[in-house]
């Protein structure tokens, strides 16, 4: 395996709580897939889990070297729990196309959060 990209992001949970308060479902629908919303809303502190996923999407986009914007949007990167419980990434649309162009065969992510912050890192791997 060859390292193709590395990204990291930290998010203040209060920032996500404010976006939820100010924009509600409009914010949720613009940034998070239906599956992500369902999972997070089942958790005791949904904003904490949404913040971790927000950070993961940013970390993945940084690992690609593009950020969120022209090449890929928020909904092109989806955080899903694997059967083992670890987080995984599903790519859609522009992110999926970019991964194919860059030879990405796997994405490893790690999520963490405290009461006030959520963070994520992402590693893009390709055939070496």
Distance from C-alpha of 93 to C-alpha of 73, rounded to nearest angstrom: 8
Catalytic residue flag (residue 113): yes
Catalytic residue flag (residue 62): yes
Distance from C-alpha of 111 to C-alpha of 36, rounded to nearest angstrom: 14
Distance from C-alpha of 60 to C-alpha of 27, rounded to nearest angstrom: 20
Residues 6+ apart with CB under 8 A from 77: 56, 57, 60, 61, 89, 90, 91, 92, 95
Catalytic choice (18, 35, 62, 92): 62
Catalytic choice (49, 80, 108, 113): 113
Active-site positions?
62, 113
């Amino acid at each position: 395996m060859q390292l193709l990209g590395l990204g990291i992001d930290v998010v203040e949970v209060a920032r996500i709580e404010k976006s939820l308060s100010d924009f509600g479902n409009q914010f949720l629908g613009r940034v998070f897939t239906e599956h992500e919303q369902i999972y997070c809303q089942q958790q005791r502190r949904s904003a904490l889990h949404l913040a971790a996923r927000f950070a993961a999407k940013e970390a993945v986009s940084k690992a690609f070297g593009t950020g969120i914007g022209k090449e890929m949007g928020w909904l092109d990167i989806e955080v899903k729990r694997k059967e083992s419980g670890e987080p995984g990434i599903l790519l859609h649309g522009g992110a999926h196309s970019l991964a194919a162009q860059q030879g990405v065969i796997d994405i490893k992510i790690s999520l963490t959060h405290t009461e006030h912050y959520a963070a994520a890192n992402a590693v893009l791997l390709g055939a070496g």
